[in-house]
Structure 1
Amino acid sequence: MSRLTRTVATLVLTCTFIVGCSNSDNQPQTSTSSIKPLEKVTYLTSFGNFGRDAYAWVAKDKGFFREAGLDVDIKPGSGTGDNIAKVEAGAAMFAPVDLTGLLLARGSGGAKSIVVVAGVQQRTMAALISLQGNGISKPKDLEGKTLADSPGSVVRNLFPTYAKLAGVDATKVTWVNGAPANLIGLLASGTVAGIGQFVVGEPTVESVAKGRQAVVLPYSDVMSDLYGNVLVTTTTIAREQPDLAKRFIAALMKGLVHSIDNPDETGRILQKNVPASAAAPAAAELTLMSAFVRPEGSGDVVGTIDTKRVAGSIKLLQDAGAVPSGLTPDQLISADLTPKP
């Protein structure tokens, strides 16, 4: 046997018996039995599929969830009340809800198995949006008008408190029901004079209204210390699956940061995954939302929750008669899971 023949034979035998020899694509062989399967997670957006909720699609599209070992199923939410009910019922594991809406629900004896695990918006984005020509330019103009929103929306449920602080007679305002996806259409068609929305909904409203300028009445004008959306889960998941919760929170917050830093790309990602959504208005929403996401005084850390501010929100609602005494931040917030400054 020649020296060349002996060398080739030795190489063949070595490749045959040593684990990890390269395959035909020069990639290391990996046993499929050693690959850990992705864990299933169900998630609801806060309200339909607008730009303000696109960060979840970014986390999925950019692979942040997969990197965390998660396979996330994203479904459109229908507002705070409905999201709370679905998370409690096990229809979803995580969802963003408005913190004030959660406080109102807990104050009335509900949402007992819900816990806050991250902040999404450091200030409330709740608002009423109308259009020029509808006779609404200030809160007092709401009297005698018809507004639309879903029954479980925090904008609608918080309206009595907003009205009291803004000097509006809430009994003179008529509310009708509207599904999240249909609200802007109801406003643009003239069916109602205003709708419950987030402040960042202004670009989307104007894109549908075609030429008519939006009129925005932010709740933060009279309730400046309130948080906006927070991420919630059940007390059971927080207690029994803290590692999964931490991985999900980190990946979702990574998607949130990427979204507000790259609004145009995020708008395209949303439209790719939800074709009915328009990229440009979604990007405009995210540009507006950026100022609500970055927590003041804590660098670039996103997702933090200040329990002192939450205590202040509780007091504000208690002073307005919307929440009974006895509610405290530690009853609502999982300090072990929330991101730290």
Structure 2
Amino acid sequence: MKLTKLWFLVPLLLSLTACGNAKNQSSDSKSAKKLTDVSIVLDYVPNTNHTGLYVAKDKGYFKKAGLNVKIIEPGDNATSIGMVGANKAQFGVSYQEDVTFAHADGKNIPVKAIGTVIKHNTSGFVSLKSSGITSPKDFAGKTYAGWQTPSEEAVLKAVMSKAKVDPKSLKIVGATGDGPKSLGKKNDLQWWFQGWDVIRAKDDGIKVNYMPLRKLDKRLDYYTPVIITNNTQLKKDPKLVKAFMSATKKGYQDAMAHPKADAKILHKYAKDSDLSFLEESQAFLSANYTDDAAKWGQMDAKVWDNYTGFMKDYGLIKKTIPADTLYTNQYVGD
């Protein structure tokens, strides 16, 4: 009799279990549907400037914030600031100078910086150790290989003029795209990022002199890169912007705490770079994103004003632009 009752209960229990599973699956399905799709366009191919974004995606920080984030590499004829400004992406990785240009001289591309990835400018001029070029006073008569942009030429002019060297004495040519190995081959000087090319050069056995921009002129300690959004997004859904930046901040804080482990996460998306190189680069960036993890992403009006003033002084823009037009710390606070 007891056995009969047990057999009678089995189908019922299975039915209830199936019902419960169906409800759970339905609940999970609804939860998944609640995620809001957003995208962020990088400024370049995946590198250690972007680690926090990939960590936030890989470790589920974005998902916990209710977001399904797509990280996009820019196309050949597209820029992050152009895509974000046109509302084709909600967020982007850009640079302080590009945000300033976006608002200069009547352009009014509706973008704003909402966080800086790195607190200080970690780029500078480099020369071969054997060249004897250790400061801008040695640039006269030399050849510089770069991107040939107006802002680049303005920086060269500024540091050479400060060193009382005629900027016209420097020959400027286009970069070959060969990276550190091209230094010293038909050019004496290049502009590198300390956490990337300087490390790569060391790994290749290339000894260099490194001249940090922020040591050459305090106005050149600008924010590069920054995370941007557009004014439409800020007005339409500030809660989404806050959620995105809170998860992003958590990703960068994680990268600061676990550089080696998070370099492995980045490597999934940056497979063209050796893991050992990414670990070296990440160790540098993790120590330099900020000097206070709790304040990651926060910016200073003086930095914006200093570089805007520099851009005006060297004819890159006609009028200075108020800092509060260009950036906000509202979304990276506690």
1:235 partner amino acid: N
Q: Bigger CA drift: 101-110 or 257-266?
A: 101-110
The answer on whether the counterparts of 2:48 and 2:278 sit within 8 Å (CA) in structure 1 is: yes
2:99 partner amino acid: L
Offset, 1:218: 1.1
Offset, 1:22: 4.5
* 3-state SS in 1 of match to 2:130: coil
Counterpart of 2:20? 21
Whole-Å separation in 2 of the counterparts to 1:148 and 1:10: 81
Alignment of 1:198 with 2:197, yes or no, is no
* 3-state SS in 1 of match to 2:133: coil
Alignment of 1:339 with 2:332, yes or no, is yes
Offset, 1:120: 1.3
The answer on whether the counterparts of 2:46 and 2:269 sit within 8 Å (CA) in structure 1 is: no
Question: Where do residues 166-315 of structure 1 align in structure 2 (5 Å cutoff)?
Answer: 166-178=163-175, 182-184=177-179, 187-188=182-183, 190-201=185-196, 202-207=198-203, 210-224=204-218, 225-295=221-291, 300-315=294-309
1:196 partner amino acid: W
Q: TM-score, normalised by structure 2?
A: 0.81
State the superposition RMSD in angstroms.
Answer: 3.5
**What stretches of structure 1 of length at least 5 have no aligned partner?**
none
Whole-Å separation in 1 of the counterparts to 2:17 and 2:261: 46
Of 85, 89, 92, the match for 1:88: 85
Whole-Å separation in 2 of the counterparts to 1:4 and 1:215: 86
Q: Summarize deviations over 1:277-333 as a string: whole Å, max 9, x none.
A: 12222222232223432256xx62311123344334434544555544441111112
Whole-Å separation in 2 of the counterparts to 1:167 and 1:85: 38
Counterpart of 1:119? 116
Q: Quick one: structure 1 residues 162 and 84, their matched pair in 2 at CA, closer, same or farther if it must change by over 3 Å?
A: farther
Q: Quick one: structure 1 residues 267 and 18, their matched pair in 2 at CA, closer, same or farther if it must change by over 3 Å?
A: closer
Instruction: Could you list the structure 1 runs, at least 4 aligned residues long, displaced by more than 6 angstroms after superposition.
Output: none
Whole-Å separation in 2 of the counterparts to 1:278 and 1:154: 32
Q: TM-score, normalised by structure 1?
A: 0.79
Of 318, 321, 324, the match for 1:330: 324
Alignment of 1:138 with 2:132, yes or no, is no
Whole-Å separation in 2 of the counterparts to 1:245 and 1:139: 42
Q: Quick one: structure 1 residues 280 and 333, their matched pair in 2 at CA, closer, same or farther if it must change by over 3 Å?
A: same
Whole-Å separation in 2 of the counterparts to 1:7 and 1:328: 78
Counterpart of 2:31? 35
The count of residues paired between Structure 1 and Structure 2 equals: 329
